[in-house]
Structure 1
């Protein structure tokens, strides 16, 4: 173009470059939009699945706890199942506390006697129901007063009832452990139910006494929860059992079919909703059957030519409840806006080309002279002189370009300020002490797999009974409560040269790379903060003091960054971490505020610095060797600390007698402690344990260590 006019030589290259750049930017924008949709859909599916899983866990966790209480009452004779003479007030209180429970009852293994409290499906009032030889096993129904005592006879069932023939009774006998039945139609309410059951054995000869069970009506509240989830514009979520029956869904269609006398569950593949139907059909075809789906799966399939994002997550509570959580989101819910933006981009490109052509012709005449000024100013800006501005006093396109350069310089300057603010904001997710721990200078230096491996003290803390507290709060109140609590205790960890690895809901996991004293001092400071917090909240009308438990262990720990390339977070892994978590759980069992391991005690430079009390020699779940554990009395309230200190000599004498197999003397020591300090849960535990050993005799090769078969 050497012989072309200056106007053409100036305009054509600009137009060619503009077309190429805008086209490439448009294409990359579209592709990046697709990738962003896939990432967003994956995150949305995972988040929704996790929320559904959490809702199910919270809803189906209480029935087994109720069964354990009733099994104890049954075996102790507090519940008269065979003659129905006493015990309804116990079941009544449980039904008052757990509003989601439909029926609490027990059945006898002798002749199939039945005794329980149900919630009337018509009125919601609580009623007593029992069947035994006195009524020829035709169950009688009675109304109850406000204290749970039976009042008036209401009616008698028209069919005899043998508890031993019911699915919940058979399920418990088959597993010989806590169990769930399949979803079935209730004998009393004719509503879809699932029952948690537990076999009850005589503690003396292990003879079967019967089965205690708790009915949970599949809740309409849970279906409302599914409907209110934001799953794109038209996404759906549903829960199915391993047979493909719809347990609940975010659609409005009925979950049952057939007549009222013979209702049947609706199969997901027969759903009237196309998204639910095709998702179930795809899963059945892809895996062969619902039984073969193991682990979290993220999949895609086509429906009417449109791609669908699908996630299936097994839900298993360990007691026989085995369902599948399915979330499906159409790609079109997100791509519509991207396609619209693409069309807008094309229109803008054409408009920009037309404007560029006209401006190019005009610039060819007047742009040559001031272009050097612009070039100089831009170079200065590129070298970091953000205060540099172009001085061109013209009102034409060159003047506008000069203004644009000035505006660009201002925006770049603002952008760098914003980037600096963002870098400071990132420090909340990657605190400076964590960067220093990993020997990194900036968040941008952090990579997946970065870690430090050394001996460190590990701390786990948790609010006791938080689930019960949260039930009384609105979701926002629960979040505010947790954040207020964490803002009080987290600074104590940093103040003692430790740092939080991660928050676990209402709990905290932290590590202390230097000394175990730092960890103990931080724990004691946390308890002081909690005591101050309770003192401040006493003015609240609904005040309920909170208590926390903390476990400490020291050992070799690998702390660093885990996750995937698109998302990483700090974590710490090792056997020491698992043991610290178990110790926090044991703090509830022993009624101790702060529990430490023998390894922590051995690392203390001055063991007289803290008031320690030996608790036990235990074998926690997942380990074969026993460890000694201690409680730090400095973390207790003043009254508790003084009471335990007064009885310390007697307690140590009881522990010695227990270790020496002198169980009679040990029982006397612990009973003496309880006479003076009845709230000492550790003394209670030993008194019960010694009584059991006196009754059953010492096991062979008994060494005094106590084994915990479950996580605490």
Structure 2
């Protein structure tokens, strides 16, 4: 049972970790593990840097990819979602020589239509967000913008970032340094006053006199340093009409203008020095000659550092090289081997997660439920999945039915609104619009005003998010006139589809759906007639599926919420019924469980006046008798623990004294402390036996707590002292020694106040292996410690007085200290003790000594230890002189005196052949 629960908890923990990891990498799991490339879908922009890396805006302006010169994907930057459901889109970008990427990031409303704000944002060379350079907010009082804000053409030149801001009546150029530490606001460089009734479409350049901008009415102007604008295109007599609208305007590296003419299906180059010469760089014929197919529908272009022309369509990228060659289409980004391996790993984690879910089900329904479990738990485990599955099935049926009905209602609503276009757009006035020169004219503004009055005056969520468009039908071609996209221009040809041909040829309303850079749409289109009944245009109303899904999600959330409430209600009813039926047994079980846990004061209270109540009374009687017996046993145990410490039992892995047997033993590595009162036997002769007992108990009561304070074990009392063991850190044992030595001064002060002579003690501390166990015979047992370390610690305590130390420790103690710098001690060298073959490396701990002694030892420590070193290598004269200097400063230093006499003897008489650098102490 415990293993199954532990396994289930481990599985749940692993599932949680796997779910967290998969959630953080949810974009990768959308790609199949065997895919080694990612096709482009919804391209809108591509640029190249000096290393021939390619940066592309893909996925309906939601993602920026970086590809190296081989087409290998380096990283992807994915747009975020605003806190209120707004969506971010990338509209332009530029890259500097250090690889920093600058983008125009536009925040749209949740329907992807109205612009809320724009930012110039910088990303690091690895694709990580760096900072925002500029923010443009759009309030309700400003002119409403659709899909495209006022910021234009971010560019990098000579260590500066430039960008244009369309301020309606004028065009402003701003700059800010590219430096990493720069945080200043962009500065205004140049402001261009626009000609009357002209509105900016695109702009390029950064030096006054070499700045060009196109207008929404189809012209290209050159801006001079004095603020004057000069028309460059189209000039009178040029072989182009007003329908040849210049789009995707750029300056190449020689200062020539390059733009796309969708009406002529051509990419054109214009040299301002020869404005009447229009050079066709790319058209259908030249593309086909290079085995390339161009659609010329959503095409954009940019200029590479090598003067190549980068041509971008919705699903492919081509380059026109300076020699006129058009490269084969790039339609996908290749994954690096590491990225592919990561995808495989993500899918492996997903497969493992599925297996873990199956294993969890097996544990619950085949392991746990077959074990002894509370009835309520079994019911919950069984009924919750059944109820959940039933509710999910029910919600799926309801949701699918609702979704189908909602989609039908959406199309019905769109058809109704599309037919209403005939009342909003006057067909005769629509016919009078002939070129982009009519942009924002009187007729154009009247159309916009009427449409807004119908669609934008209702604040209900389900009446928002509509996309409106007006098209003109002329000579078999459908032209864009007005729509909720400031990136589209008047008289841009619209591609023919079976649906719009049904409208313009048959006059019937049509519905359909399409997918573009802004999402998936449902639309309805209806004809616009002039006064003579002729079809002269098309009115479109459409709605982003995201908006429809938002309504569906609202309904689904409501269904799920109601089903959850119903499920919880049913579960509560079930639990309540089970609770009432089993309440008496549960009370009995809980009370008995408390008694079993040792809560002998627990009382069974059952008032049902039935068999369970009688059983409860019997349990209370039994518990009272057991309680009396346990009280006696516990009192006995508590008394015994004062003789045999609980720590001793824990070392032997015994829960109580009843489990101890003769011969139980365990080997440990501990610190052994021997504490003894000096001159106790002389002191005891002056005391009566009762006074002796009182003195020893009072003394041990004062110093014993320091052992327990530092997690030590009082092993046994030695008459005038005790032996203690420290199983944990050596620092604890030595700290206990120091604190006891400091306490001695306070204790002696109290003794002096009542006329008692002061006492002194010595402490020996050693760390090493020992065997702790039970000795004796069957009728008399005793816990004891057997170890050479005990004898060694005892000898150390005896040597404290001749060496003038209160605390003596061995090198095994010093070597195991975690913080040796926290203690004051000095090296006494190698000491030869009678009865021990090997010399001992001892240290004098004087940290707890009185201030005078501690200060003198600390002051002479370096000289003393140097003298010890001289002694050990046989330099007795130098050692004698050094020890003499120590004695002159500290006449009470017994260790220095002992060393001095030995140095003088060895210097005068020499050493024996057996001398090994040690100091003999008896």
Q: Which of the five TM-score ranges fits, normalised by the shorter chain?
A: 0.3 to 0.5
Q: Which has the higher helix share?
A: 1
Please say which structure displays the higher CA radius of gyration: 2
Structure with the larger RCO, 1 or 2 (CA within 8 Å, 6+ apart): 1
Instruction: State the TM-score, normalizing by the size of structure 1.
Output: 0.41
